[in-house]
Amino acid sequence: MPELPEVETIRRQLSPRLQERLIQDAHSHASEKFTPAVASIGATIQGLNRRGKYLIGPLNDGRELIIHLGMTGALSLTPSVPDDPYIRAWWQLDNQESLIYRDVRRFGRIRCVPAGQYGAIPTLAAQGPDALSADFTPEAFYQALRRSRRRIPTQLLSQKPVAGVGNIYATEALWIAGVHPAKRQISRPAATRLHAALVEVLEAGLANGGTTLRDYRNADGDEGSHQHALACYGRSGQPCLRCAAMLQHRTYDARTLAFCPQCQPR
């Protein structure tokens, strides 16, 4: 699933190209997850923002076009709409380009809502501060973790203590911070280390254009390169890059997570 670095990479590529573009026409797959795309016809896109893993296009009529890429979603701008069975929505713009939303597994979704009114999108409404925003502070993060008894990775993936983190970058940050994935509570110093590790791995992933393990492509159709920099995710059975102990993996709350038994004591 695209996480913050992948979604932000796409946003940076598309935002200047969508600025002040009039949506002349739109079509969608019949699923109600995608049909809201057509509600934006006649509006002008005023850029492209992001909150966590959501892309948010403010419209000139006081609404927002909201896109979540799900697990396999991709956005691109093309001169024409290709003949592709996996295109779930497309928007014809006033510069002879089309914004294409392609999603093989159909786990993504599109909404068009009044600006800031996210009641119909509960995961967006309930998410915590964006991981790369000034609101994501070590103390606020620690207090958010304290309010739950769920395992730390499960809390991270809920998007409530911090928005934008998924399995890949959570695994990497836990390894850097020395936090075992089975833990349900951590100390303030450990939370501070994990906070710094999350910012570190997300910024590195963004600098590398995201992580492509299978499906992810940016708006130009290119792969990211951060998969070559992963220290823990996907490396179970290989030596830890820090202590040389063999990395292991366990399934917690239906998520399989790699970790170092020596660097991340339980």
Name the residues annotated as catalytic.
Answer: 2-3, 53, 255
Which residues partner with 58 through β-bridges?
A: 64
Close Cβ partners of 133 (under 8 Å, ≥ 6 residues apart)? none
Largest CA distance in the chain: 59
Nearest-5° Cα angle at 137, 266 to 56:
110
Structure tokens at 253: 């709350």
Please give the radius of gyration of the chain, using alpha carbons only, rounded to the nearest integer.
Answer: 19
Distance CA 136, CA 143 (A): 11
Tokens 């997570």 map to which residue? 257
Report which secondary-structure segment, H or E, holds 142: helix 138-146
Which residue(s) pair with 4 in the sheet?
none
Contact 46, 75 (CB under 8 A): no
- What strands lie across the sheet with 21-28, from one edge to the other? 44-45, 21-28, 87-93, 98-103, 73-78
CB 225 within 8 A of CB 218: no
